[in-house]
Amino acid sequence: MYKFIRYILYSVFISISFNADIKAQRKKRRPTHADSSLIKATVPDSPKDIVIKYGIASFYAQKFHGRQTANGDIFSSLKLTAACNVLPLGIWIKVTNLKNDRSVILYVNDRLHHKNKRLVDLSKTAAEKLGFVSSGITKVKVEVLGKLRGRKVE
């Protein structure tokens, strides 16, 4: 009888240990594409790491107006904001259209889709100021201005 009780207790102990090990392994899983916005290695810690970038800019579709951005703001196509995957959220950038030399200062508050190869996605108001609404995309220069204290998104 004692052997049987000891056998049951060992079995319970082993199954609890095994279950705890599985739970610990689940917590150590690698991040998926859905978690990619949480990976700090892909986003520079400081704007000093990136001073100037060149690339393609586009502007948000109207369907995104009123939706929440990556930093929690509500997107407005009337404000001067931008989405970017290679710059940290919460910084100000100066975007210059290389075709007509127009520039505008924007606040980075969103991320692009991880498969999007463009450098920045701008609000429609920013695209109008840069003069590329009719073409949809343009080549741009992006200069990092950093976190400007006291400045509000227009």
User: Residue 9 belongs to what domain range?
Assistant: 2-30
Q: What CATH code is carried by the domain that includes residue 142?
A: 2.40.40.10
Shared domain check, 129 and 83:
yes
Tell me the C-alpha distance between 64 and 123, whole Å. Answer: 10
The predicted pLDDT at position 100 comes to: 95
> pLDDT (tens digit, 9 = 90+) per residue, 81-131?
888 888 888 899 999 999 999 999 999 988 887 878 889 988 889 999 999
Going along 31-73, which residue ranges are E strands? 52-59
Tell me the C-alpha distance between 75 and 73, whole Å. Answer: 6
Q: Is the pLDDT of residue 38 over 60?
A: no
Shared domain check, 135 and 78:
yes
DSSP secondary-structure letter at 60? -
The predicted pLDDT at position 116 comes to: 80
Number of structural domains in the chain = 2
Shared domain check, 126 and 103:
yes
The predicted pLDDT at position 33 comes to: 44
The residues with which 104 forms a beta bridge, in sequence order, are: 95
As a whole number, mean pLDDT of residues 25-49 equals: 46
Specify if 153 maps to a domain. no
Cα–Cα separations (whole angstroms), residue 41 to 10, 18, 46, 85: 45, 33, 12, 12
The predicted pLDDT at position 96 comes to: 94
Tell me the C-alpha distance between 43 and 85, whole Å. Answer: 7
Shared domain check, 82 and 102:
yes
Instruction: Give one DSSP letter per residue of 81-98, joined into a string.
Output: EEEESSS-TT-EEEEEET
Shared domain check, 107 and 131:
yes
Closest CA to 100 of 147, 150, 139, 54: 139
